[in-house]
Amino acid sequence: MKTTLARLGGVYLLPVAIGIFTLFLIPTSTWLTLTIAGLAMGMMIFLMASGLSLIFGLMDVLNFGHSAFVSFGAFIAASVLAALSSWVSGGSAALNIAALLLAVAAATTFGAAAGWFFERVVVKPVYKDHLRQILVTMGALIVAEQLILAIWGGVPIAVPRPAVLEGSILIGNVAIETYRVFAFLLGLAVYVAMYLVLRRTRIGLLIRAGVENREMVEALGFRIDRLFIGVFMAGSALAAMGGAMWAGYQALITPTLGAEMMILVFIVVIIGGLGSIEGSLLGAIMVGLTANYVAFLMPKMALASNMILMMAILLWRPYGLKPAVQK
């Protein structure tokens, strides 16, 4: 039984199990809509969580400022979309998409630059000192949130969504929001790209080795600090990309967006296991699906349900479902 399950995919079956279980509780057409929404949400959370998880795995740094990158990404994307409003609302699908891609690219670029600054200035002096790390990144989070308030003000900002991604595709009696499909595909593309880099390139090999044993990577002759900065920039860029996509999804954003998402991101990272992108993907999909199903079944339990999910998984596997380091 156990080996059969493992051959079929082991813990990867969990989201499928969640899906099948809820199929009995929810009318099929609604279930399909919710599932697409859950997958899209999961993919956006994956963008935010994978970077955090990798940064943690490689450097043993938990960056509480990570949520600031998410917020900044969302607001920068909103500003770019607002500036390109003629492209966004115009009839040309190409310009529509170009505007969104530009917005996401601007957010991502900012994320990478901010990540560089964060690693060099904020985190580097306190490597190996967990307590001060948590404090310093927490302080940086406070400052970053205040900066967002100072720049964009405290009021919610409307995010114009590209006209071509507005609305839904109707398949039978199932309505699927176009934007969700786009978000899912983008997230999937990023996952595949990350997977290929980690599995097929020498840099990826170094990162995977570094997550397991930094010291040995150095003893083999590699400068781990260069890897650190690269991964930190990439992780922060992904967070900002996730924030940008989330901004388009929500259509109305507030400065607390990053902090709100961060809870889900933490839950995802804990569920998935620190340091592995497979774990992050698995956790993100599970959290996205659970959030959507429960929001339909028991609206008040939406966030608590993910917390319960996390507790249950922690009891079962204290290091998460797919930790990078094999114990």
Cα dihedral 75, 69, 232, 38, rounded to 10, equals -90
In the complex with another protein, which residue's Cβ is closer, 94 or 220? 220
Query: Closest approach of Cβ 303 to another protein, in Å?
Result: 5
For residue 176, which of 307, 34, 47 has the smallest C-alpha distance? 34
197 binds another protein (CB under 8 A): no
CB closer to another protein out of 160 and 320: 320
C-alpha dist (Å) from residue 146 to 5, 78, 152, 153, 237: 49, 18, 10, 9, 20
- Stretch 81-110 residues interacting with another protein (CB under 8 A): none
Q: Name residues whose C-beta falls within 8 Å of residue 105's C-beta, 6 or more positions apart in sequence.
A: none
Q: What is the DSSP letter of 162?
A: P
Of positions 174, 224, 229, 295, contacts another protein by CB under 8 A: 224
Angstrom CA distances, 61 to 70, 72, 180, 195, 246, stand at: 18, 21, 32, 22, 25
Q: In terms of CB distance, is 9 or 153 closer to another protein?
A: 153
| Contact yes or no for 51/237 (Cβ under 8 A) | yes
6 binds another protein (CB under 8 A): no
Q: Does 319 bind another protein (CB under 8 A)?
A: yes
CB nearer another protein, residue 98 or residue 197: 197
Interface residues with another protein (CB under 8 A) are 56, 60, 62, 122, 125-126, 129-136, 138-140, 142-143, 146-147, 149-151, 154, 202, 205-206, 208-209, 211-213, 215-224, 259, 262-263, 266-267, 269-270, 274, 300, 303-304, 307, 310-311, 314-315, 318-319, 324-326
